[in-house]
Amino acid sequence: MFAAYSSKVVTGSRSARAGGFLVGSLCAASLGCGSESGSDSEVPGAEASAGAGGAGSVGSGSATGGGGSGDGVELGAFATPTCAAPEGVAAPRSIAAAVDWINRLPKPLSLSCFLETLERPLPVYATVSVFSAQPAVGRRSPRMFLFAPPLIMSISPAGEGSHLLEFGEPRSIRSSLKGEIVFPVTGELGPSSPYDHLIAGNLTTCGGCHGEEEPASDIAFARAFVSRALRPVPAERVGLEELHREAVDCDALAEPERCAMLIALFGQGEVIDAEFPATLDTFY
């Protein structure tokens, strides 16, 4: 029913800025679960495929610490121990499942902690587009779409939307149910939580960009809306190698929340390229 997205596999590592990565990443790791300072959609997908030896994905990677010692420092070494996936629960592939997943994690819950718990390999598409309520802040802090088919989530490590986790859950080949959760999460989320924050009068904050908005007829417990599913403009894509380099080079003493999110994304296992169906309209 839904178009598949493709993925390719490579591994990657970069040298970190002297001193900044090792100390800064430890600081960033502290922004995971249990830290109140850790606060900081849109299309159908199907299967991910991985093939050895190609280009277009990165592993957790390693970095060289300060002082020229050459010791390898894995991004995964900074994982927060309490940021682990709930046992006995399938990875979230719907908005409702994501709410249940979040409710099972320790509180207060930062967005970076949530990212650490996601299933790997993790398909990602990054864009510099600012045409969103969750805009990118340049190439170093792009908006990132995280694919958990059929669910697509989006984040941005900096800027006005950095405290948001946005959702797009397919309702047809051209539309999706929209949702949004504000981080940090400090208590139990109700079933309507992903929809309540989007309401703006009679519609939602998504309607201005996505258009063709109408109530979700299958959701009676909240004011939920379905609107057009869109894809980013291909020319504005940011490659995973470039994004991985941002994670390795990040100075968490200067940008703790941004670094925590990037390290959480790349430090937990393989991240692979995702592709939106070319049949979808672009944002502009």
At 82 the pLDDT is 78
**Residues 6+ positions from 252 with CB-CB distance below 8 Å:** 20, 23, 24, 25, 26, 27, 28, 259, 260, 263
**Residues 6+ positions from 234 with CB-CB distance below 8 Å:** 282
**Residues 6+ positions from 218 with CB-CB distance below 8 Å:** none
Structure tokens at 146: 């995280």
The pLDDT tens digits of the residues spanning 219-238 come to 999 999 899 888 999 999 99
- Bridge-based pairing state of the strands 62-64 and 225-228: unpaired
At 5 the pLDDT is 29
| pLDDT (average), residues 138-158 | 97
Structure tokens at 205: 């904050």
pLDDT at 9 over 60: no
At 75 the pLDDT is 81
Distance CA 223, CA 194 (A): 10
Q: Strands, E, within the chain: which ranges?
A: 57-58, 62-64, 72-74, 122-127, 143-148, 151-155, 164-172, 175-182, 199-200, 203-204, 214-215, 225-228, 237-238, 271-273
Residue 211 confidence class, pLDDT cut points 50, 70, 90? low
Q: What is the pTM of this model?
A: 0.77
pLDDT at 144 over 50: yes
At 58 the pLDDT is 74
Domain layout of the chain by residue ranges: 20-273
The pLDDT tens digits of the residues spanning 26-77 come to 333 334 344 333 333 344 443 343 333 334 667 654 333 333 333 334 787 7
Handedness of CA 76, 140, 41, 105 (dihedral sign): positive
- Bridge-based pairing state of the strands 175-182 and 164-172: antiparallel
Q: How big is the CA angle at 24 (ends 23 and 29), to the nearest 5 degrees?
A: 105
Kindly tell me the burial class for residue 83, based on how many C-beta atoms sit within 10 Å of its own C-beta (0-12, 13-18, 19 or more). Answer: buried
| pLDDT (average), residues 102-118 | 97
At 44 the pLDDT is 44
